[in-house]
Amino acid sequence: MVGRASERVWRVSAIVLCAAVPASFYLLGDLTDAFPGVLTVQSSTEGPEAGPQAQAEGWERVSAAVPDAEVAPSPDPDASADLAERMSAPAALPVVDGGLAFSVVDAETGQIIAERDADTARVPASTLKLLTAAAVLRLYSGDEVLTTRATVVDGVVTLQGGGDMTLSDEDLGELAGLTADLAREQGSAEVAVALDDSYLAGGQNPAWGNNGTAGGWVAPTASLALEEGWLDGEQYGPKSSDPAGDAARRFAELLADEGLEVTGEITPAQAPAGAPSAQVHSEPLSEIVRHTLLISDNTTAELLAHLVADARGEETTPEAAAAAVEAEIRELATEIGVSETDLEALDIRDGSGLSRENRVPPALLAAVLAEVSSGATPALQQILFDVPVAGLTGTLGERFEAGDSADARGLVRGKTGYLGGAATLAGVVVLADGRTAGYSIVVHGFDGADADAARAAVDAVAVEMVQDQ
């Protein structure tokens, strides 16, 4: 059910540029307005157009000449000699009380630049989505699309899911219209509807605990869903407990709107092979990854984990999906030289980071992100552009706004995370001395009532990476 979409010129050009100059991709991107930075963070735009761009804006990446030595930053290893000490200073804050771990890894060399308690596996919260994204991008080109089909044979319409949980009502309406035309071509004005949701086993993940569907955090993974199973259109509002069934029932209503008489109840069935069919497609997987990282979408993150399992030829249950992501990340980590100690500590129980049972050493996550920004693995470089930008986009849009933390606005790129006593941030950054690095920061062990202070402490740690001593 996974196909290929059209050529994506902007992404190829951006990746080529980053691969050519990994140590200076921020400066180049800033100069060409490919993404925000110190040269673009302050805008003269006022009024309704001011503020971060919408999620689908700013797609084009403008090619530009590689900066010469007078423009490119000059790496100075000595400039970061005290970085670990400066990043450790917020550990003295009452909310942190020593519960701080971090790792900063040089993208060019893979060497550790700064660390604190980096080999102890911690709850990653939603920074785990970075590993899910890396796993899926290792197995797919990103141009693939998820296809939803409807077959028509002898007056029976079988709706067949292909993993697209992002179907809109408009998408289903388009499919219903095409299906109704197909039915009429066969002489059928009256149809029965069946559902084939066998593509993914899916379902709820027991490892979510009380962070699952009942709390509005995530919809159970399914072979298809209408609007991700978000019943009121809100990211943390009520979720469908039967996304595929709800989509099928809405599809039957839309068939009736198209003038067909729909009889009986929706029944489970396998779609007949080779039967006449209509179909609609999702956005490319690359865009689903981008959306997932930008707004920290738990539902699409879990879907991506299931697609990892499918690509590896494994079962597509929630437990198998988590195991598939872990296996893919273990392979990646081994390839880039992550220590056996850190590999042994890795424990992935879901694709979204909702499980309190997940454990990831900051050293491992930082090493993966250093690889992302190194240019050595082009398939992963999309993540550079997908993670939010401090103070500007996605889940970092309202962070790094005041005081010293504002110094990191437009410079730090990262995926946020928060889960019952763990506040996390992981991503890519250009250090004050010009080196590109992957990083992971965890503040842990605080009381949930102090969540805002914990997040502010994470930001205080992160800002040290971009400040001159």
Q: Between these two residues, 225 and 50, which has the higher pLDDT value?
A: 225
Residue type, 350: D
pLDDT > 60? residue 60: no
pLDDT > 60? residue 38: no
Looking at residue 468, what is its pLDDT?
Answer: 82
| CB-facing half-sphere around the CA of 266: CA atoms within 13 A | 17
List domains and CATH numbers for the chain: 73-141+290-463 (3.40.710.10), 144-283 (3.50.80.20)
Sign for the pseudo-dihedral over CA of 368, 369, 373, 379: positive
Looking at residue 323, what is its pLDDT?
Answer: 98
**2 band by pLDDT with thresholds 50, 70 and 90:** confident
Looking at residue 44, what is its pLDDT?
Answer: 34
- What's the angle, vertex CA 303, arms to CA 297 and CA 309, rounded to 5? 140
The string over 257-279, giving b where at least 16 C-beta atoms fall within 10 Å of a residue's C-beta and e elsewhere, is ebebebeeebeebebbeebebbb
238 vs 230: CA distance, rounded Å: 6
Q: Token pair for residue 54?
A: 């919408």
Q: Token pair for residue 381?
A: 């470089």
Kind of pairing between the strands at 156-160 and 190-196 = parallel
Measured between alpha carbons, how far is residue 302 from residues 205, 248, 316 in Å? Answer: 9, 21, 11
pLDDT > 50? residue 170: yes
**19 band by pLDDT with thresholds 50, 70 and 90:** very low
- What's the angle, vertex CA 362, arms to CA 26 and CA 425, rounded to 5? 55
Looking at residue 56, what is its pLDDT?
Answer: 27
Q: What is the pLDDT of residues 243-289, one digit of tens each?
A: 999 999 999 999 999 999 999 999 999 999 999 999 999 999 999 99
pLDDT > 50? residue 17: no
349 vs 208: CA distance, rounded Å: 8
408 vs 429: CA distance, rounded Å: 10
Which residues, other chains included, contact 437 with Cβ-Cβ below 8 Å and sequence gap of 6+? 104, 105, 106, 107, 113, 366, 370, 373, 428, 429, 430, 431, 465
pLDDT > 90? residue 111: yes
- What's the angle, vertex CA 82, arms to CA 81 and CA 83, rounded to 5? 95
The answer to whether the beta carbons of residues 140 and 2 sit under 8 Å apart is yes
Count CB atoms within 10 A of the CB of residue 19.
15
Q: What is the pLDDT of residues 192-207, one digit of tens each?
A: 999 999 999 999 999 9
The string over 332-354, giving b where at least 16 C-beta atoms fall within 10 Å of a residue's C-beta and e elsewhere, is bbeebebeeebeebbebbbbbbb
Q: Token pair for residue 157?
A: 């319409």
Q: What is the mean pLDDT of the chain?
A: 87
Looking at residue 404, what is its pLDDT?
Answer: 87
pLDDT > 80? residue 407: yes
Centroid of chain to Cα 240: 21
Q: Considering all CA atoms of the chain, what is the largest pairwise distance in Å, rounded to the nearest integer?
A: 78
Residue at token pair 């879901």: 350
Q: Token pair for residue 291?
A: 């959306």
